[in-house]
Amino acid sequence: MNIELTIEKLVFGGDGLGFVDGKAYFIEGALPGEKVLARITNDKKNYGKARLIKVLSPSPERLTPPCPYVQSCGGCQYQHIRYTDELRWKELQVRESFAQTIRIDPTLIQPIRQGPREYHYRQSITLHRTAKNNQKPSPLAFIGRDNRSFVFIQNCLLAGESLQSVFKELHTLGKYETKRVFKIAENGAIVSSEEDKLYRIRLADELFWAHSRGFFQNNLEVTQQVVEELQNIVEMVKPSRFIDLYSGVGTFAALAGSQAQEIFCFEESIYAVECLKRNLKERQLPGAIFKGRVEQTFPNFWLGNQKEGSLVLLDPPRLGITYDLASFFAKADKMKNIIYLACDLQILIRDLKIILSKGRYQIKTIVPFDMFPRTKHLEVLAWLEQI
């Protein structure tokens, strides 16, 4: 069935939201203020999803997406809107998500931070095996917007300039690889997850060791802004201990924790730990490394080492932290400062609700960072203080 409606706002994820007879419909590609014709694709009791058929009156914010693959590729959700408006909507999504879930003084939510680039900011890309038969080599592609099809591309506007060469070559995966990650090293060379290799990467003036199969932040300029925010908090708090959970190669411990007398890093990846050791040693930082899963290593550590002067940084993967770990923080004694850095706003809110549930912390500040321009994703930092 087709519907005609006027779009009111862009919700988290980038869909336009409009109403027909009081019922909410989410429409990908539709912009606020636009009257659109759409076909209902999924009709639930309280809301529905619809596919945009025609924009009947376009918004002045609407742009022609510069990428020729945008309709089929699943990577970008905001190419059809001016970047300044994308930023405005993303900040509003953060404000609304908190207003609906966690009571917080809105002035504690800071304006969204942006980097200098709206395109070509990615330091790494992931391409996927396309052939079902894993006995044979397979060409590589991005996953399509429908989450099932593959998109073979010649260039990607999000990828850094040096990565464009990756799309020009025909790669084939080995029998057991399902995907391959390509990254840019400090010298401009491309390293891939096919290799088992340490490489150097530069963040502002600092060189780090990273691994071809491990994590490193993708948007370096915005990561630098995150580092500066962490440094500001550290300057205010002056912690005697900097505890970096999900520390990766130790980027934040090295750049923001170096003033603390003690540094503790918790990380499970063998690739990251190898680099972490080098990154701490090169800087002669007094760091102790706890290998393994944070949810197993950290609670025991804390119970034997509670200290008021600790600042705990959490930077987990997209899935966030476990319920048990969040509950541990909710009840922990002497946990003076926690900074939670999340790449998924809804997961951050889910975890904060548990951490705040015992009433032992207050939110000091929330800072959104547009780490992934033109996509639905954003990074959010939450600083909590025990009261």
Ligand X SMILES: C[S@@+](CC[C@H](N)C(=O)[O-])C[C@H]1O[C@@H](n2cnc3c(N)ncnc32)[C@H](O)[C@@H]1O
Sequence-distant contacts of 190-196: CB under 8 A, at least 24 apart: 190/162, 190/163, 190/165, 190/166
The site string for ligand X over 261-280 (x = CB under 6 A, - otherwise) reads: -----xxxx--x--------
Among 9, 62, 293, 364, binds ligand X (CB under 6 A): 293
Q: State whether the Cα torsion 298-300-303-307 is positive or negative.
A: negative
The site string for ligand X over 218-247 (x = CB under 6 A, - otherwise) reads: ----------------------------xx
Residue 375 contacts ligand X per CB under 6 A: no
Among 121, 252, 329, 369, binds ligand X (CB under 6 A): 252
User: Which position has the token pair 């038969």?
Assistant: 133
Q: Residue 57 forms beta bridges with which residues?
A: 35
Nearest partner of 324 among 286, 351, 361, judged by Cα: 351
Packed helices 323-331 and 345-355: angle between N→C axes, nearest 10 degrees: 40
Q: Which residues of 232-255 are buried (b: 16+ CB within 10 A; e: fewer)?
A: ebbeebebebbbbbbbbbbbbbbb
Residue 69 or 215: the one with the smaller Cβ distance to ligand X is 215
Residue 31 or 222: the one with the smaller Cβ distance to ligand X is 222
The site string for ligand X over 314-353 (x = CB under 6 A, - otherwise) reads: -xxx------------------------------------
Site for ligand X in 58-77 (CB under 6 A): none
- Piece in contact with ligand X (CB under 6 A), picked from 9-17, 164-172, 194-202, 288-296: 288-296
Structure tokens at 343: 């790449």
Q: Minimum CB separation from ligand X for residue 272, in Å?
A: 5
Residue 98 or 246: the one with the smaller Cβ distance to ligand X is 246
Q: Minimum CB separation from ligand X for residue 244, in Å?
A: 7
Helical spans, DSSP H, in 130-192? 164-168
Applying CB under 6 A, which residues contact ligand X? 215-217, 246-249, 251-252, 266-269, 272, 293-295, 315-317
